[in-house]
Amino acid sequence: MARGYLMSDRALEGLDERQLEAVTTLRGPVAVLAGAGTGKTRVITHRIAHGVDTGAYSPGRVMAVTFTAKAAGEMRGRLRGLGVEGVSARTFHAAALAQLNFFWPSLAGDTAPKIVDSKVRLLAHAADGIGIDPDTPTLRDVASGIEWRKVTMRSIDQYVAARPNGIGRLSAGRVADLQRAYEKLKDERRQIDFEDVLLACAGMLEAEPHVAKAVHEQYRHFTVDEFQDVSPLQHRLLELWLGERHDLCVVGDASQTIYSFAGADARFLLEFESRHVDTRVVRLETNYRSDAAILDVANALMRGRPGALHLRPSARAGARHPVPAVSEHRDDQAEARAVATAVAGQLAEGVDPRAIAVLYRAHAQSAEIVTALADRGIAASVLGGKRFFDLPEVRQAIMELRAATVAPIETGFVDTVRDILRTRGLTDDPPQAGGALRDAWEARAAVLRLAEEAPEGTTLRLFTDDLMARAKAQDDPALRTVTLATLHAAKGLEWDHVHLIGFAEGLLPISYATTFEQVDEERRLAYVGITRAGRTLAVSWARGPRDRSASRFLREIGSGTLGAAGGSAPSDARRHYAGAPRSPADGAGGGMPRR
């Protein structure tokens, strides 16, 4: 018992008042409204650890659900650090697939169907079968439509009613024909797609009472991270997992709902208290990531939005940094060169390149930035590119390091790693130019850095075991490079210094965001980008060949919280945002009123 109290105290260490309230509220329903940078993962893991340490939870009966394998892996790692093993921390799909694979043989007398490896490829075959030949982009959009239809729990006819305009050159009717052909071909091949995993698991729990009973016996306590991103299908599956019980803790932030286009529905978070009797609501609004000036910008942008939290800096935030600045540029090339110059200045001041990010709305915007940084000899990694452990240089290094474990090692472990990497091109100094050679050098340097940072007593065998485990868990190390990322890819990450580019109409909000809801989602994307920054934030935009104007979001934020680069506002920036009042029509464009 003494050990339990000791570990329980450990789980409660270092928490602020609101975090402590969330962690010690062990029985649901609980809604933790966690703003950006407020320590939500810490709260989730410490709450589970406190529940286990006090005997309120049995680890094997806890399910913690999140949205990415990486986030689930991080959750498991943090729980291990708190002395907790055996908790099921998984994505919705991984949890559902495990249940399908377990119960399917007893229900159907056979193994579960295989997962479709490519919707687009299967759609191409289905299209051949009905005599149409759509191009690959059209097939990709049809695949996205199938995913949206399933996670929003619509039939094909309901999908057509909701999206009557068709896709590309395909009419709505032909899209429906193609979707039906896809489903038929999939059934003939005895396959299921990613969304079918959730549908099949939900169907199994609804149709088989003994399966539902077994799941209810196995899992008693549920935690769902990023609850603002739950789709109707995921919410239905969660209800089936819960049954008649109410021991559920949800954690989320409505202001970070950026996947509505893929079926996410923040109403499940916003309406949680009204759906669940006696809900305990805890608001986490103390931000431990960002400077006060950055939080002022974020709060101004989201002021008055449904579910918006008011972020405030922590007492240990330290000295206030300069007010985030906005700069205007002639064209995208000039903007990219200016950002590269600013990044070069930060590096010259000794900033670690891993602490710098350039964020943008769309992948296409990265090309100019990549070129401008390369012209200055600055290495950059595009987030969402090839995964670290999938890089050929890394795979080759792991293979050769693994082979070296069978022979006696005459030098130190780290020296052995260094020697092997040198035979493959690792030098003391990186290549000056960007490009493939620099990328390969950075990858090998990252492997060496992992060896240098390994705990004392690590052997080559243990090191390669760890590399293989990290590869399986998609736990990629940060390369010693500047990060380039879309706003979607940046979600959940943070950097000390962020350059947010393309803050112009047509880019942010993006041109095809025409409805109130679509523009609202673009605003949340901007908010996500702003709240990634810890110490400094620089915002920029360019007129371009079509004479773009500054983003309406700059007008909403106002010049009280955003300064101008160089100390004086560019004339066009004054005209578009400086000090403009926030009127009821500002948020949606086109004269649409605010909610």
Q: Report all structural domains of the chain as residue ranges with CATH numbers, in order of start.
A: 2-96+199-284 (3.40.50.300), 117-189 (1.10.10), 292-385+481-576 (3.40.50.300), 388-472 (no CATH)
Q: Averaged over 570-589, what is the pLDDT?
A: 36
Q: Tens digit of pLDDT for each residue in 174-190? A: 999 999 999 999 999 99
> What local confidence, expressed as pLDDT, does residue 322 receive?
76
Tell me what the pLDDT averaged over the chain comes to: 86
Adjacency order of strands within the sheet including 325-329: 380-382, 482-486, 356-360, 495-500, 533-542, 325-329, 563-564
Q: Would you list which residues are annotated within the binding site? A: 34-41
> Does the structure show a pLDDT above 90 at 206?
yes
> What local confidence, expressed as pLDDT, does residue 316 receive?
66
Q: Tens digit of pLDDT for each residue in 43-69? A: 999 999 999 989 999 999 999 999 888
Q: Averaged over 304-333, what is the pLDDT?
A: 85
> What local confidence, expressed as pLDDT, does residue 383 receive?
83
pTM over 0.75: yes
Residue 457 banded pLDDT, cuts 50, 70, 90: confident
Q: Averaged over 129-150, what is the pLDDT?
A: 90
Structure tokens at 42: 């810490």
Q: Averaged over 471-499, what is the pLDDT?
A: 86
> Does the structure show a pLDDT above 80 at 580?
no
Q: What proportion of the chain, given as a percentage, has pLDDT over 70?
A: 89
> Does the structure show a pLDDT above 60 at 582?
no
Beta bridge partners of 383: none
The CA-based dihedral angle spanning residues 180, 181, 184, 185, taken in that order and rounded to the nearest 10 degrees: -150
Measured N-to-C along each axis, helices 232-242 and 136-151 cross at an angle, to the nearest 10 degrees, of: 40
> Does the structure show a pLDDT above 90 at 443?
no
> What local confidence, expressed as pLDDT, does residue 585 receive?
31
Structure tokens at 332: 């995208």
Inter-residue contact 557 to 301 (CB < 8 Å): yes
Q: Long-range contacts: 447-456, Cβ < 8 Å, 24+?
A: 447/394, 447/397, 447/398, 447/417, 447/421, 448/414, 448/417, 448/418, 448/421, 449/477, 449/480, 450/477, 451/413, 451/414, 451/417, 451/418, 452/414, 454/413, 454/414
**Residue 451 three-state SS:** helix
> Does the structure show a pLDDT above 80 at 384?
no
Q: Would you list which residues are annotated within the binding site for ATP? A: 34-41
> What local confidence, expressed as pLDDT, does residue 428 receive?
83
